[in-house]
A and B are shown apart, each in its own frame.
Chain A
Amino acid sequence: MSFTRPAGIALMLAMLGAPLAARAEMPTFQIVAENGRFTPETVTVPANTRFRIEVTNRNAGPEEFETSNPLKELVVAPGVTRSTVFPPLQPGSYPFFGEFHKDTAKGQIVAK
Chain B
Amino acid sequence: MGNALFIVWRESVEAILVVSILYAWIRARGDDRIGVGHLWAGVGGGLLLAGVLAVAMLGLQSQLAGDALEAFQAGIVFVAAGLITHMVLWMRHHGRHMKRELESGLANAAGGASAALLAAIAVGREGAETVLFLYGLGVEQSGEALRQMLAGAGIGFVLALATAWLIQSGARWLPSRLFFRATEIILFLLAAALLVSGVERLINMEWLPPLLEPVWDSSPLLSDGSTVGGIAAAFAGYRAQPSLMVLIAWFGYWGLVALLGRLPKRAAA
Contacts and interface: CB of A to CB of B under 8 A. Distances in A.
Contact of A85 (B133, B206, B225): B206
Interface residues of B, number: 39
Contact of B136 (A59, A69, A71, A79): A59
Nearest to A80: B61
A32 to B, nearest CB: 16
A8 interface: no
A102 B204 contact: no
A112 to B, nearest CB: 18
Nearest to B3: A102
B158 interface: no
Contacts of A80: 60-62, 66
Interface in B172-216: 203-207, 210, 213-214
Given A60-B140, A61-B139, A68 B223 contact: yes
Interface string A30-67: 00000010000000000000000000000111111001
A69 B224 contact: yes
Contacts of B57: 62, 75, 77
Interface string A74-112: 010111111111011010000000011011000000000
A75 B53 CA distance: 11
B131 to A, nearest CB: 10
A87 B224 contact: no
A62 B63 CA distance: 16
Contacts of A70: 224, 240-241
A36 B149 CA distance: 15
A69 B206 contact: no
B250 to A, nearest CB: 14
B243 interface: yes
A62 B58 contact: yes
A84 B204 contact: yes
A62 B60 CA distance: 11
Contacts of A87: 210, 213-214, 241, 243
Interface in B119-133: 129, 132-133
Contact of A69 (B59, B62, B138, B219): B219
A102 B217 CA distance: 27
Contacts of A103: 3
Given A59-B140, A60-B140, A68-B224, A100 B133 contact: yes
Nearest to B6: A102
Given A60-B139, A80-B60, A102-B3, A71 B225 contact: yes
Given A64-B129, A68-B224, A69-B240, A90 B136 contact: no
A90 B220 CA distance: 13
Interface string B144-180: 0000000000000000000000000000000000000
B225 A88 contact: no
B206 A19 contact: yes
A26 B71 CA distance: 21
B118 interface: no
A62 B135 contact: yes
A69 B204 CA distance: 15
Given A62-B133, A88-B214, 12 more contacts: A61-B137, A61-B139, A68-B223, A68-B230, A71-B224, A71-B225, A77-B58, A80-B61, A80-B66, A85-B204, A87-B210, A87-B214
6 contacts: A59-B136, A61-B140, A69-B223, A78-B139, A100-B7, A100-B132
10 closest A-B pairs by CB: A68-B225, A61-B136, A61-B139, A19-B206, A87-B213, A77-B58, A69-B225, A60-B139, A61-B140, A62-B132
